[in-house]
Chains A and B, each alone.
Chain A
Amino acid sequence: MTVRVQPSNTHLVEIRLRPEHADAEGAAALTLLRAQGLTSLIETRVSRLYEIKGSLSANQVLQATKDLLCDAVTQEHRVVTPSPAPMNGANFWRVEVWLKPTVTDPVGETVRDAIADMGLPKPESVRCALVYRLVGRANKAALEKAVSKTLANPLIHRAVVSEAHP
């Protein structure tokens, strides 16, 4: 789990499977991307990203994360500060797939209500994204094209592709 505190009371919480667990969702995404010609990709793992806006403190967000969003058995629960790391000769990519602001985000709405049900301040809004962490060589343009044909539908999604560290 990664918690990033954003300006103006916006918190970004990332939940991901522990590395020792097989990631079926990631494997399926890898198959789809490779079928688009990105055959140098060797691994894909999927995590969930929640953008929580509202008057919650960092501690309250952490409580919601631990008690509501993260399964302590299978998912990671740690605060990570992004920092440069050795690339080991491979490329690492991060793809965030968000629903566009005009599209209903039912998971986000349910999380917002559930945080309030926990007795915490009700967030103004919660939006949810899928994050794909890719390992393997690719160029950004090809990756963006492949993502638009597999993991995101440009009609309703906003996909953000960026180079990342492992």
Chain B
Amino acid sequence: MSTAVDETLTILGKSPKDLRALGEARHLSLNDAEWAAIQAHFKGLKREPSLAELETIAQTWSEHCKHKTFTSPIKYTEGKKTRAIKNLFQETIVAATAAVKKPWCLSVFEDNAGVVAFGKKWALAFKAETHNHPSALEPYGGAETGVGGVVRDVLGCGLGAKPVLNTDVFCFGTPDYKGALPEGSHHPSRTLRGVVAGVRDYGNRMGIPTAGGGIWFDDDYRLNPLVFVGTVGILPQWAVGKKVSPGDLIVAVGGRTGRDGLHGATFSSSNLGADAPASAVQIGHAINEKRVLDALLRARERKLYSSVTDCGAGGFSSAIGELGADCGARVRLEDAKLKASDLESWEIWLSESQERMVLAVPPKSLKALEAVFAAEGCETSVLGEFTKNGRLLVTHHDNAVVDLDMKFLHKGLPRVERTATWTGPATSKPAGGTEKKLSAALREAIGNVNVCSREWVIRQYDHEVQGGTVIKPLQGVRHDGPGDACVIWPHAATGDMDDFTGFTVAHGLNPDYGRIDPYWMALACVDEALRNLTCVGADPSRAALLDNFCWASPEDPKQLGALIRAAEGCRDAAKGFSAPFISGKDSLYNQSKDEKGKELPIPGTLLISAIAPVPDVRKAVTMDFKGPGNALYLIGRTNDELGGSLYHKILGRSGGEPPKVQPATALDGFKSLHAAINRGMVLSAHDLSDGGLAVAAAEMGFTGEFGCLLDLDEMPRDPRIFSNETLLFSESPSRILVEVAPENESAFLRHFGKGAKAAPVRRVGQTTANPILKVVGLDGSSIMEEPLRELKDAWQKTLPAALG
């Protein structure tokens, strides 16, 4: 840079301590090795960096943008063995996707979202990410800008996809938490209300159905709530690829740039504390984003731009930096549209003002593009052009602000080796707790805050807009029962009205299993997501996965060791189920000081989101019993796997084996069920998860208002189980309870294999007209007779009561 003008900072010759202090003062979140690399770079240039350059490097090298933990070398000790991991992401998630080789994966880990083929003409873009730290500080604004961000990710995927579904998964402290909280943190019920309102307002105002998701309550999330937001978009297959060419103009569209949202990316690279910058939180403007969406899709159809990306964390710095990474970019900040005229150069460059996108536009298309955006009342500004000199040059009124080598910016991040350790749980024997009567345990399970009705939340969302929600989030004769997954028919957006192909999205999450072993948690999460989508009629052999890891500080070797276990579980699950990962995110440093000043980390949390096509939405099934006298089949074997289960939590018991997934057998069962659903032989299907068979059967019964009679002795099971409690409440994975009309029973069974890896399936009972859940135990006596109306009341009243 000829003249570094904007405020320069002195770093050459400074000690690591001084540099750390400088970084803390400016919220740069750079570690000593990164400071040393920056020092060495500028020493070579024989000059000091400008503030904007340091900020640009800090943003680009942040955990948020570079996923340093997942891509850095790790010395990992498991038990007595130590091994080196070069790049955790490449060796687990990417390796599994490469191994399963699915030709229908059109774009994986490259773009803002993963893309899979949807029929011959169309493709689905799917992305889920978190907005945890902002939501902890300002639940409403944090959640709505989270939704806005993930919608823009899909909008900036390929040449732009039309969003057709939003999903949301939250982890909060219990809403009736009675304990103390540190000054400045919000009560979990306030966080819940604010986050739900934020997701509601953004999705509803943009006209995107919010139809899938879930909530997990655990008091260890009380200071660090997790807010996962996801969006699915549809785009033509020709629009999946994009390429910036030197000479293309850099055009910013959408909202104006202000001082809001500075330091969002670097903010994600540190533990949440009382000194978090207030500017990291913003309020979204859904109407502005809707304008951008409408204009962008119109411009895409006319092929007026060659590439696009969203302005997320890091603002222009990261969007233009990414688009120009392979060529170079020349930016003039004076041409940016501003909210206030007194913004400093670095603030314009790094502002994370919402609802902005950056396009690469061939000069000949500029006028037409400006006209398309003007018609939607959407502002555009030409900020410069992409070059071919490999440099990022940013000026403001002829003053140089940033002059960096793209190679240093994107490849210069020093990799620091971390250490990680994993030691398995000390004992696997269940211990402690107090026995409870079966009926009392069932009532407690069905009313448990992690099982109970989410109607209070779901009713706030518009899940019908766009008119394609075939299976809705609330099911059954009174539209108030639970569901395994939603089914979306997106062809109102494509105009292919005779195409009945749809898709579904399902999630798997259970941090309680992770407390015992994150490896098995990962397999259980993948299994849960896949069996949920199988239950509604989706094809499990066409499922694609997203991973979202939320963890505490990876600088703690034990936390990092657990994260590695989870990542390796993801790898083995993806290979075992032959389901590729197509995109993902990680959010680390989710820990804060509690009211006593002690660090409170979140439980290691993995959200697996799965997407799969439903070949014919007219054949999709819901989970409610459809009539009396139908046979009930249980797919999958029940084992003594109550470790981390809801039943153990209710009894106050610890230890035990977590559920262990056998992917080959599970997939066989899912595929067989899918074939049966596709032939119209299944009346209802519901997966067994929290609370096991007892809770699943009760939910199917009270949602359909028919009872059932179950015989536990008929369950496919480990022959060493002699306990009715274990059979009723075990959370063995890969199990689905299926209702089949008597005339279809033999045809239904023909779909199930007979080999060693075939999933067991047995008739375990039948539906009845009387709405009572009746269970016959192993000794042939009746062990449970529960009126479903009462169970439904218990299921429905928990959340409203907890929220007051």
Residues of A with Cβ closer than 8 Å to B? 31, 35, 99, 102-106, 109-110, 113, 149-150, 153, 155-156
Contact = CB atoms under 8 A, between A and B. Distances in A.
Interface string B258-280: 11100000000000000000110
Contact of B279 (A102, A109, A149, A150): A102
Nearest to B259: A102
Contact of A106 (B186, B281, B288): B288
Contacts of B141: 103, 156
11 contacts: A31-B804, A35-B804, A104-B354, A106-B284, A110-B285, A149-B186, A153-B186, A153-B194, A156-B138, A156-B281, A156-B283
Give the residue among A103, A104, A113 with the most B Cβ atoms within 10 A. Answer: A104
B190 A104 contact: no
A137 to B, nearest CB: 21
B99 interface: no
Contact of A99 (B186, B283, B287): B283
Nearest to B205: A106
Contacts of B287: 106, 110
B521 interface: no
Contacts of A106: 283-288
Contact of B278 (A104, A110, A149, A156): A156
A104 B804 contact: no
A109 B286 CA distance: 12
A103 B283 contact: yes
Interface class of chain B by DSSP: loop
Nearest to B353: A104
A36 B141 CA distance: 23
B262 to A, nearest CB: 10
A86 B286 CA distance: 44
A11 B736 CA distance: 62
Interface string B117-150: 0000000000000000000011111000000000
Given A35-B804, A155-B278, A105 B283 contact: yes
Nearest to A110: B287
A155 B260 CA distance: 13
Q: How large is the interface on B (under 10, 10 to 19, 20 to 34, 35 or more residues)?
A: 20 to 34
B105 to A, nearest CB: 37
Contact of B283 (A104, A113, A149, A150): A104
B275 to A, nearest CB: 12
Contact of A150 (B138, B190, B377): B190
Contacts of B260: 102-104
B337 interface: no
B282 A104 contact: yes
B777 to A, nearest CB: 44
A153 B353 CA distance: 20
Nearest to B140: A153
Nearest to B141: A156
Nearest to B279: A102
B187 interface: yes
B45 to A, nearest CB: 35
A109 B355 CA distance: 14
Nearest 9 CB-CB pairs, A to B?
A: A106-B285, A104-B283, A153-B138, A155-B278, A156-B138, A155-B138, A103-B283, A35-B804, A110-B287
Contacts of B353: 104
Given A106-B285, A149-B186, A156-B141, 14 more contacts: A31-B804, A35-B804, A102-B259, A102-B279, A104-B284, A104-B353, A110-B285, A149-B187, A153-B137, A153-B139, A153-B140, A155-B278, A156-B138, A156-B281
Contacts of A103: 141, 260, 282-283
A155 B285 contact: no
A31 B140 CA distance: 19
Q: Which of B186, B279, B283, B288 gathers most chain A CB within 10 Å?
A: B283
B119 to A, nearest CB: 37
Contact of A109 (B137, B187, B285): B285
A160 B186 CA distance: 20
A106 B285 CA distance: 5
A149 B339 CA distance: 30
B572 to A, nearest CB: 43
A17 to B, nearest CB: 19
A156 B190 CA distance: 15
Contact of A104 (B137, B186, B194, B258): B258
Nearest to B288: A106
A46 B286 CA distance: 23
Contacts of A99: 283
A126 to B, nearest CB: 13
A73 to B, nearest CB: 22
B203 to A, nearest CB: 15
Contacts of A150: 190
Contacts of B259: 102
A104 B282 CA distance: 7
A35 B802 CA distance: 12
A110 B286 CA distance: 10
A129 to B, nearest CB: 13
A56 to B, nearest CB: 21
A39 to B, nearest CB: 13
Nearest to A102: B259
Interface string B182-197: 0000110010001000
Contacts of B377: 113
B138 A149 contact: no
Nearest to B144: A106
A90 B454 CA distance: 39
Contacts of A109: 285, 288
A112 to B, nearest CB: 12
Contacts of B140: 153
Nearest to A101: B340
Interface string B282-322: 11111110000000000000000000000000000000000
Q: Which of A99, A150, A155 has the most CB of B within 10 A?
A: A155
Contacts of B194: 153
A150 B193 CA distance: 10
Contacts of A149: 186-187, 190
Nearest to A154: B184
A119 B281 CA distance: 34
A113 B285 CA distance: 13
Contact of A155 (B190, B281, B286, B339): B281
B136 to A, nearest CB: 11
B156 to A, nearest CB: 21
A146 B186 CA distance: 12
A129 B137 CA distance: 20
Contacts of B281: 155-156
Contacts of A105: 283
Contacts of B283: 99, 103-106, 156
B137 A155 contact: yes
Nearest to B284: A106
Contacts of A31: 804
